[in-house]
A and B are shown apart, each in its own frame.
Chain A
Amino acid sequence: MVVTSSARDYINRILQDISGMKVLILDSQTVGVVSVVYSQSELLQKEVFLVELVDSISKSSESMSHLKAIYFLRPTSENIQFLRRQLASPRFGEYHLFFSNILKDTQIHILADSDEQEVVQQVQEFYADFVAIDPYHFTFHVPSHYIYMLPAVVDPSTVQRFCDRVVDGLAAVFLALKRRPVIRYQRTSDIAKRIAQEASKLMYQEESGLFDFRRMEVSPLLLVIDRRDDPVTPLLNQWTYQAMVHELIGIEDNKVDLKSIGKFPNDQEEVVLSSEQDPFFKVNMYENFGDIGMNIKRMVDEFQQVSKSNQNIQTIEDMAKFVDNYPEYRKMHGNVTKHVTLVTEMSKIVDERKLMSVSQTEQELACNGGQGAAFEAVTNLLNNESVSDLDRLRLVMLYALRYEKDSPVQLMQLFNKLASRSAKYKPGLVQFLLKQAGVDKRMGDLFGNRDLMNIARNMARGLKGVENVYTQHQPLLFQIMESIVKGRLRDVDYPFVGNHYQQGRPQDVIIFIVGGTTYEESRSVALQNANNTGIRFILGGSSVLNSKRFLRDLEEAQRVARSSTTVV
């Protein structure tokens, strides 16, 4: 049960039964779904010779009746309208319609009404409605993502759209896995509760026939939690490969856009970082930065050896061998260049922004006590000229989250300092964060200082010492996973929806974070799965966060909240 392979199987099944030259038509969301699991050359093998977006295909009206059109769309009303117009004056010989989610009856009727020329061959629902970026990590790319922070009364229709997209996506994930889950949610979060309840309504009432798989095994668990219960993880600097690339440069659907940070040759402007296609990345994506440097050095050495052996071509045999190995060689060359470029760029950024010292303080704030020392460290960094505004803001936020109640005076000092130092960020953003995710709102024991057990464990860890100062932070998700494995997740904090309770230990757990996941959490899940505890975890989120994106959501939410209060 891996999300990437089930999405891949769907695409395979769509393409394999239809022979002849094909056009694949996608919408802006399914492009992401298909791109992360399928490649252009694989499409070509399946005789798909054109890939287009649904809105651009309807602009031209040139007839291409020698091609068969395969549509793979989300069943939204805009897409149905595009299709309706297209079917009224068809350009292609045959139409095969695949939808990534449950179609409404009225939508089928609209399509049937417009298909006067009977060009549609089939209408199917193939539930690949999630972007499977890693085997155990999927995302939905929900638009207007900030909305989850606001109460539903502010903008009911946007909240509704947000919930619908998430519920649809979750339904698709479980249909793809052919299971019906029991659902739990985080008690303190309204949006998590709402999503859990709507998902349950869909799976147990509205479409109960579709979700009835007659399996005798234990049902999997769907746990819906809120990002605001752990606001620390997206604010930290990361030091493991995948997470670090996302934090410093940015990963979008396993693609890294380097154009924003400098000038590169054409083929290196955008690179692909996919654990499925790149064996080096697959091995190293969770390694920390120092080890990556060593591993890359090893790879470069190997490559040098290969290229040296390619240089002295004397006999025909050498030549034949070279030509044989040439594609492999080229691939290796591209891969080596890619990773070397990424790591060099990142180490440049690390030096520039003094991330070593910044991150050390961040980790101290997130993991260890010692308020006085922390205050001093943060003040020093605020005074340091080479620390960027973004890092300053994050430091103050982390300090505020940690010592919100302990020392309001010092907190005020830091606020003032921040305001005088970096005018770029709007004032009140830290306060807004506290209002959203302050100590009163949070339920989980984020800093491990609420009950005695955790305090004791923290002290033990402090005595043992840590292997790496920069990667000592464990996300809250880790604790949640541990308590699921031990069967200790409290019913009071994470209640079930309806009367579908868990019987026995679940084998598959899908944790969905409303408000977005981070690659640090994805790593934590992958490591947990590698431990073989008998429970497999899959992580999903409404988007994949780095600190910039999290702060942008925060800013946007603050702006909307403000404007709505002034209107009222």
Chain B
Amino acid sequence: MATRNRTVEFRKHRDAVKSVRAPLSSSASASSTGPVIEMVSLLPSNRSSYAPLSTEDPSTSRDAFTVGLPPSWVDDSEEIATAIQRARVKISELTKAHSKALMPSFGDDKEDQRLIETLTQEITSLLRKSEVRLKRLSAASGSSEDSNVRKNVQRSLATDLQNLSMDLRRKQSAYLKRLQQQKEGYDGVDLEMNFNGSKFGSHDDEFSDVGFSEEQMTKLKKSEQFSVEREREIEQVVKSVHELAQIMKDLSVLVIDQGTIVDRIDYNIQSVSTSVEDGLEQLQKAERTQKKGGMIMCATSLVIMCFIMLVLLILKEILL
């Protein structure tokens, strides 16, 4: 993979041309002031005008460029991009929180739950907002090239967004699965505990006639409470999966399927040019029909006028 950089050569020549051009233009301006003083003014003006010109020229042209602000959709697209970035960061946080929540802990893990909930909600709302904004991107009007650019920006952002939401969903379903497994596990443990307890109970039975001990009751209550909470969590996760599926469905319209004809560069160029041609043709047709309509109106009115005049003429002949 050899390459050759010709920039240096190009720059050298460009600078050479510029240094030639600068005195040339100054001499041209000098000559325009008058042919008489040309000889005299050439030398001093050359030196005096050279420096400012060479520094000023590119800067003014640069300015002229930056004055043309990019269209407003560029801001939109940047906002979406930052939102995606933020969502990405949040997702990594969420992964951490997930793994933390799944770890067996003795303390109260409500804190974790709350964190996961808020994170999930934030991410989903971020994604949803970006999606809405993404749709707006194509709504603005502009030239065909500009709208093409917009469409492509939209596509690329949509792909990003879709990947992100897929990622999130995969993580969530993994979490969900683990959670359910754990729940079953807890139930198993509970059962075992109860079993043990009852065994203990039967064992104790001989000595004292107490059904469940105080301790066991509290345990049972706790585990019940625990499972209710888990249930709620699962429901929540399921809900957000639903939401994501919706987003995904909306986005799939925008995303390009890889390996298909739509994914071909030359096909896209051709389809753009044909659609432009089609537009032109339609326009010409419209123009033609419009013209034709006007012409026909004109002609018919003229014919009618002629007829009326003829009648008037005949009437005049008859009456006089």
Contact = CB atoms under 8 A, between A and B. Distances in A.
Contacts of B70: 65-66
A523 B165 CA distance: 43
Nearest to A281: B259
Given A49-B153, A272-B263, A41 B58 contact: no
A277 B259 contact: yes
B4 A278 contact: no
A31 B13 contact: no
Interface in B90-114: none
A115 B9 CA distance: 14
Given A62-B146, A65-B68, A108 B10 contact: yes
Contacts of A126: 3
B4 to A, nearest CB: 4
A122 B260 contact: no
B9 A108 contact: yes
Nearest to A66: B70
B80 to A, nearest CB: 13
30 contacts: A9-B1, A26-B269, A35-B266, A39-B264, A40-B265, A43-B265, A44-B155, A45-B156, A48-B152, A49-B152, A51-B268, A60-B143, A62-B143, A64-B145, A64-B146, A64-B149, A65-B70, A67-B149, A102-B4, A108-B13, A112-B10, A120-B14, A175-B2, A178-B1, A213-B2, A267-B260, A269-B261, A270-B261, A317-B177, A324-B173
A50 B10 contact: no
B1, B17, B245, most chain A CB atoms within 10 A: B1
Interface in A165-224: 175-176, 178, 210, 213
Contact of B159 (A44, A111, A121): A44
Given A50-B149, A112-B10, A117 B261 contact: no
Given A60-B145, A277-B259, A272 B264 contact: yes
- Which of B9, B14, B155 counts the most A-chain CB atoms under 10 A from its CB? B14
Given A118-B58, A125-B4, A125-B6, A50 B145 contact: yes
Given A31-B265, A39-B258, A40-B265, 12 more contacts: A26-B269, A47-B156, A49-B148, A50-B148, A63-B68, A112-B10, A115-B14, A123-B6, A175-B2, A213-B2, A271-B261, A277-B258
Interface string B64-93: 011010110010000000000000000000
B266 A272 contact: no
- Indicate the size class of the contact surface on chain B: 35 or more
Interface in B242-298: 244-245, 248, 252, 256-269, 273
Contacts of B3: 10, 13, 124-127
B55 interface: no
Interface stretch (A145-153, A329-337, A380-388): A329-337
Which residue among B11, B169, B248, B264 has the maximum number of chain A CB atoms within 10 Å of its CB? Answer: B264
Interface string B176-191: 0100000000000000
Q: Is the interface of B mostly helix, strand, loop or mixed?
A: helix
A40 B268 contact: yes
B10 A120 contact: yes
B238 A316 contact: yes
Interface of B: 1-7, 9-11, 13-14, 17-18, 21, 58, 61, 65-66, 68, 70-71, 74, 143, 145-146, 148-149, 152-153, 155-156, 159, 166, 169-170, 173, 177, 238, 241, 244-245, 248, 252, 256-269, 273
A343 interface: no
A249 interface: no
A132 to B, nearest CB: 13
B6 A255 contact: no
Nearest to A37: B265
A93 interface: yes
The 6 closest A-B pairs by CB, nearest first: A66-B70, A44-B156, A112-B13, A49-B152, A35-B266, A112-B14
Contacts of B241: 316, 319-320
Interface in A101-120: 102-103, 105, 108-109, 111-113, 115-118, 120
